[in-house]
Amino acid sequence: MKKIFLYVVAILCAYNSTAQGLHEIKMADMANLPLDTYVEDINDNGFICGYYNAAANKGFVLNQTCEIVDIDVSLVNPNITQTKVVGINNQNTIAIHGITNVNTQEMLKGYYDAQISLYSLSTVANNQQASLAKTTKMNNLNDFCGWYQGVNSRWLYICHDSIVPVPPAWKADRYMVGPTYYNTMTGGMNDNNIVVGYYIDGSDYIPYLYDGLTGTFTLINTGLDMRVHDINNANKIVGEYKQGNSIWMGFSADVDVLTGQLSNFFSFNALFEVNTISSYAKGINNAGTIVGSYVHPTSGQFVGFVYFPTIADSFGLHNFDMNTHVWTQIENDGTGAKTMWPPSLYAGIDYYTQDPYANNGIPLIDTFIMTKYPHLDNPFFVPPHSSPEWSVFGKLIDSASMALSGDPYLEQKYKLIYKHRYFDRYHSSVFVREWAGMCYGFTNAVLRKHYTNNTFSTVYNLNPGDQLAAISNASNEAIRSIESEFVKQLDIDHAYYFNKYKNADEIDFYPHQAGLYYLKWHYSTDFNKANPRGLNLRSGNAAHSVMPYKIKSPRKLPFDYPVLKFDTIYVYENSTPLNTNKKMFIHPVFLNRGPSEGGDSVIAGYNMKPCFFLPGVRDAGFIKNKIITNYKKERSFTPDSLLSFSTRSNNYYTLTTGTGYAKLDMSGYSQTANDIQPLRLMDSSRPNPILFVIDSNTSFQLNTSNYTDSLITWNLSSNHMSMGVNREALPNEKDYATVNKNSITYGNPDNITKELSCYSIFHDDNKDKAFNILTSKLKMNFQDSIITTTHQDFTYSIQKVTGGATTYDLWIYADNGDSILQFIASQLPLDANTTHTIDPFYFNGTALQTVVYVDNGNNGTLEDTLFIASVPLGQTIVNSVVKNIFIYPNPVEDFVFIKSTSDVNMKMDITLSDLQGRKVFNSSFYQDKGIQSKSIDLRTIASGTYILTLYDDKGSVVHTQKIRKQ
């Protein structure tokens, strides 16, 4: 059988002052040829079910993840060739009518597994008419109903599959007058045991109500020929009636179950371009949403529809106010001087250079990190692929309980060791976008602002009426929560959630349309069930993430008759949030045109794959507490059984786990294996995976090449360790690695010299003992190889396996539970076939000392021990021409003096920031070659505690120090 795809298009119309919304559902084959589509039922969750006709009738469910789930009853009974999904209840259980190849009716059911988006199928219990009964519906109590052919007439039946009231589990009845038995057809059954249907008397169709508890019929009071197909718990019925022109047309009405009296009758001819289009309404849920089908006036095929009777002017977020429920933000499109987080936001924190969690002036991208990652050569330039996702970063920091402690020792632990570890874990696993800039769209932060002002006034201590630029002195939690919600470029491709197929061609078909249906469905319900997400639009080399907040549609069915029609989706885009005229026009068939943006309109094209919202009905608690409580990282006190490994996603790589295991070949982004054991591929929906989870006993080989951004980053991480290799790389170069639980082997296959930065961060369970070791400027010649290893005894080794001698610079922070020491050395010689083992915790009898044990020949015998000098923290920063910086006096009264040594003449910049990160003072001076002392006038600065930061002429931070102004 060919795989089937869905088009879904929606319209909204207001007809004769009646608010109403429509949605159209079509099935088509791979050749884009339409199929008869019969929509049978809808539950209170918005799941719809039905069947379509290809070679035979095939059942389907459109589920909560915007995915079409095919129902194949032949798995239960291979003789069943016709499958119709005719009912679905609020437990997402489905009622199935199956037909075998000898025209025998079968009663089946399916239970939904939300984890795998599939149904487990079985036959219906207590069924006494398995070969004859035709299922039509089921209620929320798992009561099945339908009809079967008797000897001389048709009977309705009720089958209690799971709940067995009195009368017994199986009950059959038929409408009769005296000795006359009529063909009694069954529709649906509500939770009050009221069944609807109709009986046939010659050419007449007479509707009825049937009380399943008392076994009594009540005729519905109408003079029309009428087939009633369903009833909800509010006693609203739907079905079809014969018009005066003899065309059957869908309808809805309220019915008095005691008298059969109808009220509020509504003919569906108001929903169609002409009243000669035949239609029927087949199912209704307790919210009053109706589903059914109609016959297309030109093709003659059946087309499904969903009807929302109570939609007002448009589908949209309930009571959404563009003036109070949106954040004004600044976009960064990758060009010009725009910045996403200017200093005016969040208490003046500069998100490019200052750590927003300590709020104490500690630069986020400090000298140590810049040395570890050579491409971060300027703290004022954080590349788009390095923009931290603060929620991840912040949760890790929170778990350490150091950044905000106020204890100088703990703050140093955070600043010098744990911040680097957490930044490294984040930075190594983030994927690279396909464009140079960042765009931030509608977020859950805005949903929170819309949902409840209490969230902002109590949880975050924010004024809910403020715009971001007006907020000052915000809590760290509020900063992280709101900001992380704005980071859209880290969103997973939503197509992964609603398409069970992995073929690229299939992904580009129905899912975006299914998502449009579910967006409208959630917009038609209470707000606490709505969780809309951003929509990614593309134009040239840029991308935009926006949120649809309102949907207007063509006024009537069919959507391609008499002319082609378009949905209009109005979008909120946070760089211009009060522009209520931004909109997209959505083609009702396939969205295969590239988008363009001009004026007030955005035409959305092929990149409509995102589903608009993450799957699942969300309650209000999810919206409020997502960032605050979920996924807090717990400190591990157990041995590391799993490791994670990451490499940059914008280079090619081939990864092999050894004999008998598959190879993952991402050369040219052509994936030959989705999941290679014993590695687990994390986020395999990406064109190029970013993270692998590895059993701690596993080793694998890695080849990387084609460095499109001229960078290489390998990182191996566990609960206690983070280690890696980085270097700047030309696109045509390549590198080799072997990785196991605590080591990375590096090999240079190119006939060129390369320079590596190798590092290791390691700590114990209680974070009482830790080190941060960086070896930089490690030169590797052609066919050189080294093995870097982090040992459980708190040492780190570099083993030179082949090639000639080389050198490296060493920089260490060591924490022994009571103080942190800094050790620095330059140009340490590393000979061929030699191992250097770095021990930051060598005790020389009076104090800690760092030593490097030298094993010439790699034979286990130590030939030498190198002693590394301890350097006072904050006094010397390597890799800068400015050294030996002293700031005095401290506290300061009027003038602060800066004494420094420089190898060259240069301009220096100085800034003063308060403890909230706000810059209160800027100045500059010229640093002469040699030793000099400069005075800075601080008489205009108010008394208080500040962070003084010095920058060299390249913008690099060369010194930071806390000072107090008296």
Residue 301's CB is within 10 A of a number of other CB atoms, namely: 17
How far apart, in whole angstroms, are the C-alpha atoms of residue 81 and residue 74? 7
Predicted local distance difference test score (pLDDT) of residue 527: 61
550-588 CB burial, b ≥16 within 10 A, e <16: bbbbbebbbbbbeeebbbbbbbbbbbebeeeebbbebbb
Residues of the chain with pLDDT below 50 are 1-19, 332-338, 378-382, 384-385, 431-442, 488-512, 538-543, 589-637, 660-662, 667-676, 680-688, 875-879
Predicted local distance difference test score (pLDDT) of residue 539: 44
How far apart, in whole angstroms, are the C-alpha atoms of residue 359 and residue 711? 31
How far apart, in whole angstroms, are the C-alpha atoms of residue 631 and residue 225? 59
How far apart, in whole angstroms, are the C-alpha atoms of residue 151 and residue 209? 23
CB contact at 8 A, 850 and 870: yes
How far apart, in whole angstroms, are the C-alpha atoms of residue 882 and residue 949? 13
The candidate with the shortest Cα–Cα distance to 415, out of 354, 494, 491, is 354
Lookup result for tokens 């009720």 = 158
DSSP string, 107-147: EEEEEEETTTTEEEEEEPTT-S-TTT-EEEEE-TT-EEEEE
Q: Give pTM, 2 decimals.
A: 0.62
Predicted local distance difference test score (pLDDT) of residue 39: 96
Predicted local distance difference test score (pLDDT) of residue 522: 74
CB contact at 8 A, 496 and 577: no
Predicted local distance difference test score (pLDDT) of residue 880: 59
Predicted local distance difference test score (pLDDT) of residue 349: 59
Q: Torsion-angle region of residue 948: left (phi > 0), alpha (psi -120 to 50) or beta?
A: beta
CB contact at 8 A, 547 and 441: yes
Mean pLDDT over each residue of the chain, to the nearest integer: 75
**CA 297 from centre of chain:** 42
